[in-house]
Chain A
Amino acid sequence: MQRRRGRRRTRLRERYERRLFEILRELSIPLVILHFTLAAGTLGYMVLSGGDFINSFYMTVITIGTIGFGEVVQGADTMAGRIFTTFLALGGVGVFTSTITVIARVIFKEELQHLWRRLSMMNAIDKLEGHYILAGFDEVTAELARLLERRKVPFVVLDDTQEGLARIAELRLPYYLPEAPFEQETLLAAGIRRAEGMVVNLGDDARNISIIAVARLLRPEPEEFAIYSFASSPDDAERLEELGANRAFYPGRMVAGRLAAYLFHPESSYLQGLFDRLAFGEETDVDLLEVRVEEGHPWAGRRVGELRRELRVNVVALRMPNGRLDLDLDDDHEVRPGCALILFGRAERLEKLRERLEVERELP
């Protein structure tokens, strides 16, 4: 039994709910005291009135609630009744006001509101599918979050640092968990089993490695769940890829490469910028799409001109099986199996095409 208990991990939701009830527990004793005061008052007036429950309860409430409409129950205007009312009012008013104070203090407690918000956010995360997980939230990941938002791609942010949480609050992100990202329960709560991929940026390689290891235990297939990680050096990037990341990036090299592209093509800065923005997902109106044409694919053996007219997108290039890019495509060019078509066109048209191809691929 002990072994089983040791193996079982507490789910994040359970932990939040337990804490929520622990806070609500503070209400228990004041409410019990108020309850017994009301019961004693009602019972006393019931004895005085000969069993009139409704009026006795009403009389007790207006007495301890300092409303005092008068003696509305039989027997309350007698000597015994007035003595009883006096003691009930003296004790009851204190109990009533202190209970109200405790209730207000607990309800307006910041932690209770945070827990409530987190639980409702977790309910919303449970409904997400095909989303991305952003582990760690610095300036770079914040910029990535903006790009994903612009593309309407859902994502969940995991960060428990003060700076990260401040940035999350500033951007008013819809889904985030302020928990340690490398914990298994945090990744499960972020819906890792239904997610499309994860971006790891925890600041240092040791933490990046630990989250990649945990994530790969939960989602071992790199084709089904992509992990992209940041690395502090080109060597560490290689190591992270060996440990399970699909791709690891050394940010310095990426920025330098992008800058170099501008420096080497100063005369075509607009086009350079356009392809750059397409590659980095910043351009929302137009997009690029690569479609592999295997044996049996409906496009195999078709002419480029036919596809251009039918799909209403530009076939800009064909990537040959040997990796060579064929850019001299006239309308009569035949699409052979094994090639990949590079399509360029309106983003929404390409998106519809991508969905259509996915449906066709799933058909038997």
Chain B
Amino acid sequence: MSSRKLLTDFFVLMALTTNVSFVVFPNGVELFVTVVTNLAATLLKMGEGRVLSAELMATGLVADLHLIPALYFFYAGNPAEAVSLAWGALAANVVSVLLVVIDTVLKSYMEEE
């Protein structure tokens, strides 16, 4: 078990769960935590030697580029727009988690070979 992989996977999953919690119950602190976990996940993905590292990085950046404007809209008094952007980020985060699972399976398969 790699500690770096554990940390990255933890934040990828956490990004999804906090995103869900903001969408279900929109409030400022939830959105802030979602942005923080998403950015942490993206930074940790940087330069990782995974099979699908490019795809993972791309989905992470998509989620960030939805959530950062969402934070602005939320505090600028347009929470509806923030929630809709967070839905977009949620889709990217679901893909991200799926990619992490596929990547792990692929890697273990390749190691076995």
Residues of A within 8 A of B (CB): 1-2, 5, 18, 21-28, 31-32, 35-36, 39, 42-43, 46, 51, 53-54
Query: Can you name 11 extra interface pairs (CB under 8 A) apart from A25-B46, A39-B36?
Result: A1-B113, A21-B46, A24-B47, A25-B47, A25-B48, A28-B46, A32-B43, A35-B39, A35-B43, A36-B36, A43-B29
Q: Is B28 in the interface zone, CB < 8 Å from A?
A: yes
A27, A42, A46, A53, most chain B CB atoms within 10 A: A53
| Residue from A25, A32, A54 within 8 A of B75 (CB atoms) | A54
| Residue from B32, B39, B71 within 8 A of A43 (CB atoms) | B32
- Measured CB to CB, the nearest residue on chain B to A32 is B43
Q: Which of B74-113 contact A (CB under 8 A)?
A: 75, 110, 113
A residues near B43, Cβ cutoff 8 Å: 28, 31-32, 35
A residues near B47, Cβ cutoff 8 Å: 21-26, 28
Lowest 10 CB-CB distances: which A-B pairs, in order?
Answer: A25-B47, A21-B47, A39-B36, A28-B46, A32-B43, A31-B43, A53-B75, A2-B113, A24-B47, A51-B28
Q: Which of B13-33 contact A (CB under 8 A)?
A: 28-29, 32-33
Chain B positions 44 through 56: 1 when the CB is less than 8 Å from some CB of chain A, otherwise 0? 1011110001000
Residues of B within 8 A of A (CB): 28-29, 32-33, 36, 39-40, 43-44, 46-49, 53, 71, 75, 110, 113
A114 CA to B87 CA, complexed, in Å = 41
A residues near B28, Cβ cutoff 8 Å: 46, 51, 53
13 A–B contacts from the bound complex (CB under 8 Å): A2-B113, A5-B113, A18-B49, A23-B47, A24-B46, A26-B47, A31-B46, A35-B39, A35-B43, A43-B29, A43-B33, A46-B32, A53-B28
A224 to chain B, nearest CB (A): 36
Given contacts A2-B113, A53-B28, A54-B75, contact A35 B46 (CB under 8 A): no
Q: Contact between A27 and B36 (Cβ–Cβ < 8 Å)?
A: no
B6 to chain A, nearest CB (A): 14
Q: Contact between B40 and A35 (Cβ–Cβ < 8 Å)?
A: yes
- Measured CB to CB, the nearest residue on chain B to A1 is B113
| Residue from B29, B33, B40, B46 within 8 A of A27 (CB atoms) | B46
B residues near A2, Cβ cutoff 8 Å: 113
Q: Contact between B36 and A53 (Cβ–Cβ < 8 Å)?
A: no
Q: Contact between A32 and B44 (Cβ–Cβ < 8 Å)?
A: yes
A54 CA to B74 CA, complexed, in Å = 11
- Measured CB to CB, the nearest residue on chain A to B48 is A25
B residues near A1, Cβ cutoff 8 Å: 110, 113
Q: Contact between B29 and A28 (Cβ–Cβ < 8 Å)?
A: no
B residues near A39, Cβ cutoff 8 Å: 32, 36
B residues near A53, Cβ cutoff 8 Å: 28, 32, 71, 75
A18 CA to B28 CA, complexed, in Å = 38
Q: Contact between B44 and A28 (Cβ–Cβ < 8 Å)?
A: yes
B residues near A32, Cβ cutoff 8 Å: 40, 43-44
A43 CA to B53 CA, complexed, in Å = 31
A84 CA to B5 CA, complexed, in Å = 33
A97 to chain B, nearest CB (A): 19
Q: Contact between B46 and A46 (Cβ–Cβ < 8 Å)?
A: no
A43 CA to B37 CA, complexed, in Å = 13
- Measured CB to CB, the nearest residue on chain A to B36 is A39
A46 CA to B35 CA, complexed, in Å = 15
- Measured CB to CB, the nearest residue on chain B to A47 is B29
B32, B48, B75, most chain A CB atoms within 10 A: B32
A23 CA to B46 CA, complexed, in Å = 10
- Measured CB to CB, the nearest residue on chain B to A25 is B47
